[in-house]
Amino acid sequence: MWEGRPEPDAVNADLLASWLAQSPREALGDALRAMAAADGFIESLTAAAAEVFASGPPWLLDRSLHRQEHLDQIERALAS
């Protein structure tokens, strides 16, 4: 069902250069707005729509899974 949809890693790779061009404060603001928008979208889903999303990868409905990956990347970058 999810064939043809962009993979998160591909989306992140495509946008990386523009994110790196931002100041840390701008990047943080963008990240917080994106998180709020994603959370709002998920909360607005009807039960039927949530069921469709639940048939896909787990991170579609549980955004903490995807966010944790990025937090881990940040921690590794700060440690090096």
Mean pLDDT of the chain: 82
Q: State pTM to two decimals.
A: 0.67
pLDDT bucket at 1, cuts 50 / 70 / 90: very low
Least Cα distance to 41 among 53, 31, 30 occurs for: 53
Domains in the chain: how many in total? 1
Residue 7 belongs to a domain? no
Residue 2 belongs to a domain? no
Residue 3 belongs to a domain? no
Residue 67 belongs to a domain? yes
Of residues 34 and 1, the one with the higher pLDDT is 34
Residue 74 belongs to a domain? yes
Residue 69 belongs to a domain? yes
